[in-house]
Chains A and B, each alone.
Chain A
Amino acid sequence: MAATRAVFPARTGGAVTTRRDLMTGAVAVAGAALAPQPANAQEHDQDHSHQALPSDLALRVKALESLLVAKGLVDPAALDALVDAYEHKIGPRNGARVVARAWVDAAYRQRLLANANAAIAELGYGGGEGDHMVVVANTPKVHNLVVCTLCSCYPWPVLGLPPVWYKSFAYRSRAVIDPRGVLREFGLELAADVEVRVWDSTAELRYLVLPERPPGTDHLAESELAALITRDAMIGVARVAARGEGGRA
C-alpha cells in the first residue's frame, strides 16, 4: 500500500544514530525527560542538533492541546481525568489482587485460567487494553514471559501503563531470541530444565503472568500476599519473594 511517509516535512534531516545512542536510548529517555538538559547535552548538541529537548516537546504538546481545546475537540478536564486514572487508579496493585486471590482460592484460579476476563471482572477490573485477557501460570517447570515486539501492548486494567524498559528496544528485540539472557539481567537465573514460554502480544490478546506463590507464606492473609506481588513478576521477569525485595513496582 502506498503510504504517506509523513504529513509534515521531517523536522530532522539525515539523522545519524550512533551505536552508543542505541545502547543508552531507553535510559537516556527517562533521564532526559526529568532534567531540563540531558547529562550528555553537549554530546547531543554536537551529534544531534535535531534532538528534541524535553522543553521543546513540552511546548509542542502544550500548543497541540491549546489548539484542540480552542477547536472544541477536547475538554482539558477529561485529559486531567485520564492522567489521574493511570497515575492513581489503574496500576499493578489491581493485578496483584487478582494473583493473590488465585493463590488463596483454587476455584478462582481455575476460573482465571479458563476465562480471564470474567474472573478479573469479579474483582472489578477490566476494560481498555485488557479487553481480551489471557492469564498464563508459572510452575516449577514452566516460566512465562510477556513482550510486545511490534510496539508496547500491555494489560492496562491489571498492570497500568507499561514501564519504559518494557517499551525499550532492548527488551522488545531480545525477549524472543534470548529470554534467558534478558531474565538474567533482571537477576533471574532459570535452570536448564525449566521451559521458557515467551508470549509476543501481536494481536489484541493481553497477557498476565500468574507467578508462583513463594514458600513460607501459608500464614499470610490475601491482602498481605497481594503486597508481595510485583509488577515485574506479573510480566514474568521476576519471581515473587516471600518478603518484598528489590523495591521495584
Chain B
Amino acid sequence: MNGIHDMGGMQDMGPVRPEKNEPVFHAPWEGRIFALGMAIDGPWTYAEWRYQQELIPPSDYLRMSYYERRVTSLPQLLVKAGLVTPAEVESGRPAAASTVTRRVLKAHEVAPMLAAGWPSSRNIPATARFHAGQRVRARNINPVGHTRLPRYARGKLGTIMRDHGVFVFPHTDGHELGEMPQHVYSVRFDARELWGSAASQSDSVYVDLWDDHLEPA
C-alpha cells in the first residue's frame, strides 16, 4: 500500500531531534502496551502485525506516537482474531460468556522466548532467481496490501550484493496467503539512481528485497 508509513525520500518532516539520556519508555503505559503486544499469543503473523499499523489513517498516523499506534492496532488485531470484542475493549471487562483460551506466557518464560527469537528464515530449498553481482531492477508494483518494497526503490536499477537466504514473503504472509518463502537479497542502489544527479556520486542505499520484488535488468 502506498501509505504514509512508506516515508523514505520525503523531505518536509523537519530536523531529527535526539533526546539526551532518553529513557526506554517515557511513561509506564508505553512499557505496558509494548509488553502486551509481546506477551499475547495472537494468531497473527509478523506481517499482519505490521500491516495493521499501516492501516492507521495517515492523518492519525502522523499525529500519533509510536506507542500510541500500538494502542490503536493491538485491540484491532485482537478483535480480528476473535480474542476480544469491541464492546469488551470499550468497557475493559470481559463479556459474561467469554471463553477464549490461548497459551499464556509466564514470567519465567520471557527470557527464553526473547532468546529464541522469531526467525523468519526458512530452511527449505528455493531456487534463487538472482546472484551476487547481477544487475536488477526493482519492479514497479503498487500493491494495495502489505509490501516491504519501498516506493523510492520501485523501477530503479540496482546490483545484487549478497544473497541472504530464504525468508517468509510478507506480501503473502500478511494476508493469510501463506509464507511463500523465497530468497532475500541485499540490493545496492546508487544514490544518483534513486535521487538524481544532485546526489553524491559515491553514496548508495542498500535495500533488502525478495525475489518477487526484482526483475533482471
- Contact residues of A with B, CB < 8 Å? 1, 3-8, 10, 12, 15-17, 19, 21-27, 29-30, 32-34, 48, 51-52, 54, 57-58, 60-68, 70-75, 77-83, 85-87, 90-91, 126-132, 134, 147, 149-152, 157, 160-161, 163-165, 167-180, 182, 185-186, 192-205, 232, 247-249
Instruction: Decide if B68 touches A57 in the complex (CB within 8 Å).
Output: yes
8 Å CB contact of A27 from B19, B29, B100, B175: B19
Q: Which residues of the other chain, A, contact B118 by a CB distance below 8 angstroms?
A: 128, 131
Q: Give the residue name and chain of the A residue nearest to B86 (CB).
A: A8
0/1 per residue, B152-180, Cβ < 8 Å to A? 10000000000010010000000100000
Contacts known (A174-B10, A200-B8); A167 close to B66, Cβ less than 8 A = yes
0/1 per residue, B97-130, Cβ < 8 Å to A? 0101110111111110111111111000000000
8 Å CB contact of A177 from B18, B35, B195: B195
8 Å CB contact of A64 from B75, B114, B184: B75
Instruction: Decide if B19 touches A163 in the complex (CB within 8 Å).
Output: yes
Instruction: Decide if A152 touches B20 in the complex (CB within 8 Å).
Output: no
Docked Cα-Cα span, A143 to B121, in Å, equals 28
Docked Cα-Cα span, A25 to B191, in Å, equals 28
Q: Which residues of the other chain, A, contact B164 by a CB distance below 8 angstroms?
A: 132, 203, 205
Docked Cα-Cα span, A149 to B207, in Å, equals 10
Docked Cα-Cα span, A182 to B9, in Å, equals 12
Docked Cα-Cα span, A4 to B182, in Å, equals 27
Q: Give the residue name and chain of the B residue nearest to A66 (CB).
A: B92
Residue tally, chain B, CB below 8 Å to A:
114
Give 8 pairs: A residue, B residue, CB < 8 Å, sorted on A.
A3-B144, A21-B63, A23-B13, A30-B22, A71-B98, A87-B24, A165-B18, A170-B17
CB distance from B157 to the nearest CB of A (A): 16
Instruction: Decide if B208 touches A202 in the complex (CB within 8 Å).
Output: yes
B34-73 contacts to A (CB < 8 Å): 34-36, 38-41, 50-51, 53, 55-57, 59-60, 62-68, 71
Contacts known (A17-B59, A73-B40, A173-B8); A202 close to B27, Cβ less than 8 A = no
Contacts known (A4-B80, A7-B75, A127-B116); A58 close to B27, Cβ less than 8 A = yes
Instruction: Decide if A127 touches B117 in the complex (CB within 8 Å).
Output: yes
Q: What 8 new A-B contacts, CB under 8 Å, besides A79-B35, A157-B114, A172-B13? A: A3-B145, A73-B40, A78-B109, A165-B17, A173-B11, A176-B194, A195-B203, A197-B203
Instruction: Decide if A83 touches B59 in the complex (CB within 8 Å).
Output: no
B1-29 contacts to A (CB < 8 Å): 1, 5-22, 24-29
Instruction: Decide if B36 touches A168 in the complex (CB within 8 Å).
Output: no
B94 beta carbon closer than 8 Å to chain A: yes
8 Å CB contact of B106 from A3, A77, A164, A197: A77
